[in-house]
Amino acid sequence: MIYEIRTYGIAPGSLAEVEKRFGEAYEYRKKYSALTAFWHTEIGPLNEVVHVWGYRDLGERARIRGEAAKDPNWPPKIREFVRTMRSEIVVPFGFVPEVRTGKVGPIFELRYYTLKPGTLPDVAAGWEAKLPERMKLSPVVLAGGVEFGRANGFVHVWAYSSLDARARLRDEARQKGVWPPPGSSDRLLTQENKILLPAAFSPLQ
């Protein structure tokens, strides 16, 4: 599987209308392929929506997007509100459980890291060793390298029941030595994160 993460910067005050129009249009889009998640930023960059689509490979992505583009009801009529657009293709680590829709949040933390060139395999090895214990505290939704998009990018998404739970569980992971994996900071160039909330129509809640 691959996952396309599409991030749109939207006009201030337009979120409710953007989500309404997107949700209505998705009713027509879902017959081509299912949406994985649709979120908006609660903490972090303001006025952003993030939608995630899963595909078997780039060939399937191209085929499905081509078919959907012929549908008069897609894409959603939100162009007037969109200020910026960014798309990234993420290849998840093979040991990370496949993304399952349903209720796992409703607080989601998306973290973007820029790694030192050539260090993604080392990061993956560290994650593979430590992730089983970390996932006993809270689930990872997605984790993998950016194949197309930011060079040397690494993306991971975590789900929590609340912001308080996030703070408590992260502190517990550090105190127990469960997380982060050893040597993680030595491989990092930049880090950023955002807290996301799901739209009503998001399959991942």
pLDDT at 78: 98
Domain 2-198's class? alpha beta
pLDDT at 149: 94
* Residue 55 near residue 33, CB atoms below 8 Å: yes
* Residue 77 near residue 152, CB atoms below 8 Å: no
Helix (H/G/I), strand (E/B), else coil: 175: helix
Domain coordinates in residue numbering, the chain:
2-198
Task: Calculate the CA dihedral of residues 57, 197, 155, 3 and round it to 10 degrees.
Answer: 0
Burial group, residue 114, by CB count within 10 angstroms (0-12, 13-18, 19+): middle
Give the strand pairing for 107-115 and 82-92: unpaired
pLDDT in tens, the chain (205 residues): 999 999 999 999 999 999 999 999 999 999 999 999 999 999 999 999 999 999 999 999 999 999 999 999 999 999 999 999 999 999 999 999 999 889 999 999 999 999 999 999 999 999 999 999 999 999 999 999 999 999 999 999 999 999 999 999 999 999 999 999 988 889 999 999 999 999 999 999 9
pLDDT at 23: 98
**What number of residues does the chain have?**
205
pLDDT at 174: 96
- Measured between alpha carbons, how far is 58 from 147 in angstroms, rounded to an integer? 11
pLDDT at 185: 86
Token pair 């560290």 in the structure block, residue: 126
